[in-house]
Every structure is written in C-alpha cells, then in structure tokens.
Amino acid sequence: MKANHSIANQLSLLGSFAETDQNQSGILALPDAEVIIQHHFFHQNESDRIFSRLYQNVAWKQEKTFLYGKQVALPRLTAWYGDTGKNYKYSKIVMEPQPWLPILEYIKSKVEERCGEHFNSVLLNLYRDGRDSIAWHSDDEQELGNNPEIGSLSFGGTRSFRMRHKFQKGIKSNLQLTHGSLLIMRGETQHYWQHQIPKTRKLTQPRINLTFRKILD
C-alpha cells in the first residue's frame, strides 16, 4: 500500500524539517531506565534522502486489530522487515518479515555500530499527519527477551515522544524526536516505562520511524 500523499508534495516539504528543538543529546535523567537521545545522528541532507527512499520504496500497509470486540484500523501505516523467520506479534497482529531493502541494511549497520548490538528486524511506522498516532505501550513482547535494546530512528516531521513511569504515576517525560535523530532504549526501561506518540492538532509533516529490534529464537 502506497502512502496517500503525493511524493512531489513530500519532497517539497523537506527543507523545513531542519526546524528542530534545542534539546541536547545525551542520557535522559530518568529513574529505572536507560534512554539515550542523539540528535542529528544522520545529518540534514542524508536524512532527507533516507526519508524519500523509505517513503517511496517501503511496502506500507494499514494493519487492523480488534478493540473492544470490533475490528479497527491502526492510525498509521506500518511495515516489518527482517531476517527469515523473525515474526513479530503485537496488538493481536502477526507480522512476517519482508526481505531487507538495501537502504534498511545501510541504516541498520549505522545503528548497530552506535549501539554495539546486532539487530535482526525492524518495525517501520509512517505517521502521515497529526491524526496518526500510537497509544501507550511498552516494547515488552516475549520474543524481544527480558531487557530488549531498541534503536529508534526518526525522519521527517518532529513529533512528541511521551514517556510515563508504570508505577510512579507522577514521573513523566516529553521529548521532541527530530529529523535524523536516534533514540536508544535499553536495560530495564521496558519493565518500568511506557511510551506513546500522541495525536496533535498542529500541522505536522509526515514522519517515518524505524525501531530496530532483536527477535530471539
């Protein structure tokens, strides 16, 4: 399924993606978590090229799940790529991996070098505008293991990444994920924290998110 925005319109917007927040890169001061943000992991021009190639070449789909007994469409487009046999199940959806694209292998090599971890799969999300979102969740599926490491890249429009502690309700975080940024979650983060990309009424450009993972045998 191709995204329903014209490619020409998307490329005309790329120049404005440089307007990022002024947050500093580094380790976030969060209890019971190990979360690292690196803005400009890919520089502006390369991020623009990556966004364009992913937008055009990824086999985007709008998956459906069941909510309160009714079938509903996810409010975003998704795709799952990875090594053969590395299936992934979440929200009652079973995803079978598509073979790696060269652009995904290139990005994966850069993330693996930074994280010191080998990833065998990636979940991609396309947030077409501010109406697309993902609800509160933890990346704690059984096939990810006890303390999974997640390498999350963002390309395109800036969106808020909210976090909340599962047991200390007053502890929250709101981070702006910018064009070309890398967010790493590791250690016990998924045990103690949930995260979301909320809907927004602000005019937002499309955002592509890649979360590299390691599916265990």
Mean pLDDT along residues 140-160:
97
What single-letter DSSP state applies at residue 58?
S
- Can you give the pLDDT at residue 3? 59
Structure confidence by residue, pLDDT tens digits, 3-47: 544 433 443 343 333 333 345 789 999 999 999 999 999 999 999
The pLDDT-based confidence of 165 (bands split at 50, 70, 90) is: very high
Across the range 83-95, mean pLDDT stands at 89
Around Cβ 114, how many Cβ atoms within 10 Å?
14
| pLDDT(186) > 60 | yes
User: Given the DSSP bridges, would you call strands 172-177 and 159-165 parallel, antiparallel or unpaired?
Assistant: antiparallel
Dist. CA 51–CA 209, nearest whole Å: 10
Lowest mean pLDDT among 55-59, 194-198, 201-205: 201-205
- The DSSP output letter for 131 is T
Mean pLDDT of the residues in the chain: 90
Share of the chain above pLDDT 70, in %: 89
- Does the structure show a pLDDT above 70 at 130? yes
| C-alpha to C-alpha distance for 113 and 120, rounded to whole angstroms | 14
Task: Specify whether the CB–CB gap between 194 and 137 falls below 8 A.
Answer: yes
For the chain, list the domains and their CATH numbers. Answer: 30-67+74-213 (2.60.120.590)
Q: Which residues contact 23 (CB under 8 A, 6 or more apart)?
A: 37, 39, 175, 176
Q: Can you read off the two tokens belonging to residue 139? A: 């990346």
